[in-house]
Amino acid sequence: MKSVQICLAQIPSKIGNIQANEKTHIQILHKLQRQNPDFVCFPELSLTGYLMKDLTYEVGPDCQKALANIAKKTKTGQRVVVGLAKQNNLAFVENAAAIIGDREIIGTVSKFYLPTYGLFEERRYFVPGNPSTDLRIFESPSCKFGVMICEDAWHPEPIEALARLGAEVVFCIASSPARGLTKPNPKNELQIEGQWISILKAHAIMNTVFVAFVNRSGPEDEEYFWGGSLIVSPSGEIVARAKKFEPDIVTTSIDLNEIQRVRRFTSFREHNYKLHEVLQEL
């Protein structure tokens, strides 16, 4: 058994209060010292809150200071994923994830698809990531992994690219607000929850990887984030699940050998690149 221990840190955040959010991250890491999981993953924009509006332009420097402080609290060999607003070299802001390892920031990735519909206004405040630089695989002592951010999971390309680059685990950090409260499905799932589960299972099955989804919980302004973080195996089974509508910390072990076993009986190895050439022209 090639075991990897993953912690889903489903937390709330305070809008624009980087110091308070930094403290929450450090408190979680302190609580996990004895368990010492291989990975601790926080939600999208966990350092800043989601509905920042014009505060988006102001928080970059404080985020970098907070990341440095959080890095000091990590354990050797551990990898920590943190959501933040990152200023790029042109002074524009990206919705990003920072990957911390061995007490330093080992890299960042940025969101490619910025939702701008309904309550979402991300294109107004953020610029999208660049696939040439932001499609990255990271290594830990236990496995190779990648990170994608919320809306990126509603499109097929990001996770397929990460899987074909060698990721064994793909973390999907999100700030998904509750929708469909009046139309739960027969499993008593929210409409949006059922949609997320369907998408994550499809990604895990088609790309034969573990998918770890970490969603924000709690209220912010007029929205409420439903939590429900989970891990899906390459065979499409939910192997860990957090509570809904409240903070929760869930730690579980996965067996990476399952990827190899499942891949013997899938069509993942078949990839028709010509279809992408057609899509480019549409």
Query: Which residues have a catalytic role annotated?
Result: 44, 111, 150
Phi-psi region of 231 (alpha: psi -120 to 50; beta: other; left: phi over 0): beta
| Residue 64: both structure tokens together | 């970098």
A 10 A CB-CB count for 127 gives 16
Residue owning tokens 């609290």: 73
Distances (CA, A) of 191 to 179, 180, 196: 6, 5, 9
Rounded to the nearest 10 degrees, what angle do helices 60-71 and 18-31 cross at? 20
